[in-house]
Chain A
Amino acid sequence: MPFVRRKRNVQDHVQVTFDHAILTGTGVRSFLDLETPGTNIDTVVEAIVPGEDGDDLAITFADGSDVDEGEWDESSAPELTFTFKDGVTTVADFEAAIAASEWIQVATAGTALNVLATTDDEFSSENLASGAEVVTRTDKFFKATRKMAVKRIQYINPTGVAADADDYVELSFLKNAVEIAAWSTKTGEEGALTANTILEPTIDGLLAGLAVDDVLAVKFLEVAELTDVPAGRLTVELVYL
């Protein structure tokens, strides 16, 4: 005798859970190879803080210092200026001068004994480039085998992530590549992932329907200095259509 459907229960809802692993990593630092605008100066410098904001940093090299080692000035940051003494100041002097910088650091040391010279090593307001936030991971966790709709999404992170204006994480809940819900810890957005507290991102009802073979995923976007997103758990409540 074939098995027949059980009619007494009317629970056409199911839950899918997904425990995501810790997410580590930082953004990409902006950098500038000083040999490109300069000649003798061949140090590669980079922003200390990863992220796109590093692209705002700009460096000027000027002749005219009375000090043999040259002078570093970041009082007008993001405009940073190094004034050198023609024929005396070396690459090593420059790298020593920025050792205490709050903005940039040496990414690749240059030729220490190269001597800086007027014209060759003078340039104005050269921006660092290529800083980037980082999309570190997209986890696919469910494929629809029938027509369904996402009714509720719950997320819990036992450790939590504080809200911050610059260092934050964005969680995007995706149907295929389309975002159907999101949570950002950026100040002014959804806010902190409070430790050990269930959050319910708002679902875009127009996008919540799933066709057969649609895939649900969660995308993590780490921004700037945030170094990790602790492990957490996602629960998606689905209803069959």
Chain B
Amino acid sequence: MTLRKNNVLQEREIITYDHAQLTADATVILFKVPSGKKLRIEKATYINPTGLVAHAANFFNIKIIKATSTLIANWSTETGEEGTIAADTFVDLVLGATDADQVVVGGAASGADLVKVLFDEDGTATLPAGRIVIEGRYVH
């Protein structure tokens, strides 16, 4: 295979995070976008070797956020939402509806330059150890 000649080469970023088992809310800062750059999150995938079955009351909402709560992408195991995370199978987190929300601006105030993951627990759910892979590219 050869490089696509008509494709303008992009500066890209892949951010990974392996989390331990969780039984409560947890927020982890994954990446700080360098000042002067803007990173657009285009994909976020998640894999859990054990999996987590959907539940109406006891569930986790895995959220990729910036600032305090601006949603970039998420997967909720609440019944009726994205649902079950099958064991050892990658799922694609659902990107937020607002295009601008997916762009993380380097140097932005109030933590808006940080890519974070929020494991938002409801009820008494336990999320076994898993892995997040976030893919983005720098834009103007």
Q: Which residues of A contact B (CB under 8 A)?
A: 2-7, 9-19, 139-143, 145, 147, 149, 209, 215, 238-241
Q: A14 and B12: CB pair below 8 A?
A: yes
For A16, the chain B residues whose CB sits under 8 A away are 14, 16, 133
Shortest distance from the beta carbon of B95 to any chain A beta carbon, whole Å: 12
Cα–Cα, bound, A19→B18 (Å) = 8
Known pairs A16-B16, A140-B90, A143-B90; A6 contacts B11 (CB<8 A): yes
Of B37-45, B52-60, B68-76, B114-122, the one contacting chain A is: B37-45
Contacts of A2 in B (CB 8 A): 99
Chain B residues whose C-beta falls within 8 Å of the C-beta of A140 in the assembled complex? 47, 49, 88, 90
Residue numbers in B under 8 Å from A18 (CB-CB): 16, 18, 131
User: CB within 8 A of B40: which of A3, A9, A149?
Assistant: A3
Give the 5 A-B residue pairs with the shortest CB-CB distance, closest first: A9-B11, A3-B139, A10-B9, A143-B90, A12-B9
Complex A-B: 6 CB contacts under 8 Å: A3-B140, A6-B139, A12-B9, A16-B16, A141-B47, A145-B43
- Docked complex Cα distance between A7 and B138 (Å): 10
Q: Would A145 and B138 count as touching, CB distance under 8 A? A: no
Q: Could you tell me the distance between the alpha carbons of A149 and B3 in the complex, rounded to whole angstroms?
A: 10
A5 touches B16 (CB 8 A): no
Q: How far is the CB of B89 from chain A (nearest CB, A)?
A: 8
Determine whether B8 belongs to the interface, using a CB cutoff of 8 Å to chain A.
yes
Interface of A is mostly: strand
CB nearest to B42 among chain A residues: A145
Residue in B1, B14, B38, B131 whose CB lies within 8 Å of A15 = B14
Q: When chains A and B are docked, how far (Å) is the Cα of A17 from the Cα of B18?
A: 10
* Contact present for A215 and B90 (CB under 8 Å): yes
Which residues of A sit under 8 angstroms from B11, Cβ to Cβ? Answer: 6, 9-11
Q: Is the CB of B3 within 8 A of A239?
A: yes
How many angstroms between the C-alpha atoms of A19 and B90 in the bound complex?
18
| Contacting pair B14 A12 (CB below 8 A) | no
Residues of A within 8 A of B81 (CB): none
Contact bitstring B97-117, A, C-beta under 8 A = 1, else 0: 001000100000000000000
- Within B1-54, which residues are at the interface with A (CB < 8 Å)? 1-4, 7-14, 16, 18, 38, 40, 42-43, 45, 47, 49
User: Quick one: which of A6, A9, A142 has the most chain B CB within 10 A?
Assistant: A6
Q: How far is the CA of A15 from the CA of B14 in the complex (A)?
A: 7
Chain A residues with CB under 8 A of B1: 147, 149, 209, 241
Q: B12 contacts A5, CB within 8 Å? A: no
Q: Which residues of A contact B40 (CB under 8 A)?
A: 3
CB distance from A138 to the nearest CB of B (A): 8
* Cβ 8 A contact of A17, one of B16, B42, B99, B140: B16
